[in-house]
Amino acid sequence: MLLFLGTMNYSRFLTAVSAARKPSPIRILTELQQRSPPSLISLAGGAPNPNTFPFQSATIQVKNGEAVVFDETTMKRALQYSGSYGIPELVSWMKELQRSLHNPPTANYSPETGQMEMCVTTGSQEGLCKVFEMLVNPGDNVLLDAPTYSGTLAALQPLGCNIINVPSDQYGMIPEGLRDILSRWDPSDARKPGSNLPRVLYTIPNGGNPTGASMTTERKQQVYELARKYDLLIIEDDPYYFLQFQKPWAPTFLSMDVDGRIIRTDSFSKILSSGLRIGFVTGPKPLVDRVVLHIQASTMHTSTFTQVTHHATYTPLLFHSLSLFHSLSLLLSLSRSFSLSPTLSLSLSLSLSLSVSIHIYVCVCVHKFVVNDEA
C-alpha cells in the first residue's frame, strides 16, 4: 500500500479563519503571569484584585469521606483569570494520563513534526466544535460513521460541509466501506490544491452515540492505514473511553499515531461531572495551538474554579468512578449470560446511578427469567 510518508503539512488542513488567527497579547500576558511568582503584580492585564471578591473558601465533600478544602489563597487563584491551555498542573497531569494510557508515539516528537500537545476545554463539545471550525470549509467532504452523535452534527452542519456517511455495524466503522468510498479518489489528490478528497474523518471509537458500537483494534489499524494512504486527519471523539467494560481496553487511534494525524477529544463528563464541564483536546501541537488561539478569542479559558476543583479532586474521584465502572463491567458480563444487549447495559450505566442500575438490572434479569421460564 502506498502510504503518506514524511512530515505532515498541517497548514493544508486549516480553514482560512483558523489560519488567520493570531495570538491575543493579553492572553500571552496571562500565560506569563501564570508562570511567575505570586508576588508579581501585573498591571498589564485587566485582572481584578481577588481580595475584592466575596468568596473566601470552599469545601467539597468527596463520597469516599475525604474533604477537599480550598483555603483563601487557593480561592483567590480559582476565582481569577487563567491561561488558555488550562492551569499548568492540570495540563501536566493530563499529559501524564495520556502518556500512561496511550503511550502516543508523538509524545517526544519535535513541536513542528506533530509533538503531542493538550489543552483543557469546557467539555469535549467545545473542543470538537473548535476542531471542526479549524478544519472544515464550506463544501468540504467530511467522513463520519453514521448514525452519529447529534452534537457533532450540530457543530458540523452549519459549516456547510458535505457529510459522507461511512457504513458501520456493531464494531463501528467498517474499513472496507471506507476503502470503497475513498477509492473514488487517487491518494495523490491529497497534494493537489482544490482537490475535494476528504481531509477529515470523525469517529466515536467506544460506545458510539447513539449506537453503542465499539471499534475493534484491527479495524482501527485498518482505518489508520487508510488515513495514512489518503493523508486524512482522524478526529477521535472518545468520551466513553473510561466506560469500557472489556479488559484490556482497546488501543486508541492516539496510541497508533506515528504520523501526528490524530486529534483526540476526551471528557470527564461521564465519570466525574458533566456540569463542571471539563474536557481536553490532545493532538499535534501545530493544530492544538490553533484550537487554543480560538479559545483565546472566545471563552479565554475553561473556568479556573472548575479546573482547580478537578485538579484537587480527580485522584479520589477518578478512582471512585473507575471502581464504579469496574462494578458495571461485572454487570455487563452478567448481562451477556442473560443476552441483554450491550447498548442496553451501557445506557443503564450512563444514565443511572449504580444502585439504581443494579435495581433495574435485577428487575430486567428477573423479568427475562420469568419470560424465559414461561416460554
140 or 237: CB nearest ligand PLP: 237
Provide the minimum distance between the beta carbon of 126 and ligand PLP in the complex, in angstroms, as a whole number.
7
In the bound state with ligand PLP, the residue whose beta carbon lies nearer, of 230 and 280, is 280
Cα 256 to Cα 211: distance, rounded to the nearest angstrom:
24
* Amino acid at residue number 141: N
313 is a contact residue toward ligand PLP (CB under 6 A): no
Number of neighbouring beta carbons within 10 Å of residue 121: 28
Stretch that binds ligand PLP, among 9-17, 104-112, 117-125, 333-341 (CB under 6 A): 117-125
- Least Å from the CB of residue 218 to ligand PLP: 22
Q: Which residue has its beta carbon closest to ligand PLP?
A: 123
Helix (H) or strand (E) holding 267: strand 262-267
Return the bridge partners of 60, or none: 68
Using the rule CB under 6 A, is 123 a contact of ligand PLP? yes
The one among 110, 274, 298, 315 contacting ligand PLP by CB under 6 A? 274
Closest CA to 327 of 343, 342, 349: 349
Site string for ligand PLP, 172-211 (x = CB under 6 A): --------------------------------x----x--
Residues from 57 through 116 that contact ligand PLP (CB under 6 A) = none
DSSP states of 168-218: EETTEE-HHHHHHHHTTS-GGGGGSTT-----EEEE--SS-TTT-----HH
Q: Round to whole Å and give the CA distance between 209 and 33.
A: 40
| 19/205 Cα distance (integer angstroms) | 29
Least Å from the CB of residue 124 to ligand PLP: 4
Query: With CB under 6 A, what is the number of residues at the site for ligand PLP?
Result: 13
Backbone dihedral angles phi then psi of residue 294, each to the nearest 5 degrees? -65, -40
Residue closer to ligand PLP (CB basis): 3 or 322: 322
Single out the residue of 18, 98, 115, 124 in contact with ligand PLP (rule: CB under 6 A).
Answer: 124
Alpha-carbon distances, residue 205 vs 164, 250, 253, 337 (angstroms): 17, 9, 9, 25
**Position 348 contacts ligand PLP (CB under 6 A):** no
Taking the complex as a whole, the smallest distance from the CB of residue 6 to ligand PLP amounts, in Å, to 32
| Contact footprint for ligand PLP (CB under 6 A) | 123-125, 149, 151, 204, 209, 237, 239, 267, 269, 274, 279
